Amino acid sequence: MATRSPEDIEAFCRRAQDHWSKDGRRTQVRDILSRVVAAQAAPFSADELRTQARRIDRGISYASIYRTLGSLVEAGLLREIVGPNDRRCYTLIDSTHTGVSHIVCTDCEQVVPMNDDCLPLREGFLARQLGFTPRKMSLRIEASCEELRQHGACARRKQKEP
C-alpha cells in the first residue's frame, strides 16, 4: 500500500495543530489524532482511526474521535464522504489531493479518490445559476472491480490490519 511522504505528513500535522492553537486548545489526544490522520494513505473510517490511535494511547474514546473528525472537517482539512455500505469515511484535503470525486468499489470495499479539478468548477457554476452558493461537493461512484472480474482477485482489496 502507498504511504505518504514524511514531508506531507509533517505538513498536514502542522496545519491541524495550527487550527487548534487558534481555535481551542492543543492537547495530547489531538496531537495523536493529527499524527494518525496525517499518515493515512487512503480514506479511513472513524473506527479505523480509533483502532490506530489506540495503539498509541489505549484510552482514546469514540467521543474524541468523532469530535475531532468533526472539527477537522469544519476546518477544511478533511472531507467527509460516503464509503462502502454507506459508512462514513474521511479523506485528507492536501496539496497531493484536492479532488471531490471518489470510487467506492463494492467488490474490494476500497475507496479510491479521483482527481477531476474541473468538475467543481463546472458543477459549481450550474449550482450558482440555480441560485445557490455551493459549500461542499462530493461525487460518489459505486463501481465493481474489473480486475477481480477478470482474474478472480484484486490487488486493491484492503487488508485487515493485524
Partner DNA sequence: CTAAATGCAAACAGTTTGCAGCTGC
Partner DNA sequence: GCAGCTGCAAACTGTTTGCATTTAG
| Residues at the interface with its own copies (CB under 8 A) | 82, 101, 103, 105-106, 112, 114, 116, 119, 123-124, 126-128, 130-147, 149
The residue type found at 46 is A
The listed partner (DNA, its own copies, none) that binds 61, CB under 5 to 8 Å by sort, is: DNA
Q: Which is nearer to its own copies, 7 or 118 (CB)?
A: 118
Instruction: Kindly state the smallest distance separating residue 51's Cβ from DNA, in Å.
Output: 12
Which grid coordinates are listed for 48? 479505523
- Mention every residue, 6+ apart, whose C-beta is less than 8 A from residue 127: 133, 134
**Burial status of residue 36 (CB atoms within 10 A of its CB: 0-12, 13-18, 19 or more):** buried
How deeply is 83 buried, as exposed, middle or buried, from its count of CB atoms within 10 A (0-12, 13-18, 19+)? buried
CB of 25 to DNA, least distance (A): 4
Min CB(129)–DNA separation in Å: 30
Least distance (Å) from its own copies to the CB of residue 62? 18
Q: Which does 123 bind (CB under 5 to 8 A by kind): its own copies, DNA, none?
A: its own copies
13 vs 124, beta carbon nearer its own copies: 124
- Which residue, 54 or 88, is less far from its own copies as judged by CB? 88
Report the distance separating Cα 20 and Cα 44, nearest Å: 21
Q: Indicate the residue among 74 and 146 with the shorter CB distance to DNA.
A: 74
Separation of CA 161 from chain center? 18
155: left (phi over 0), alpha (psi -120 to 50) or beta: alpha
Cα–Cα distance measured from residue 132 to residue 35, given in angstroms and rounded to the nearest whole number: 36
The residues that touch DNA, with contacts defined as CB under 7 A, are 20-21, 24-30, 45-47, 57, 59-64, 66-68, 70, 87-88
Tell me how far, at minimum, the Cβ of 61 lies from DNA, in Å.
4
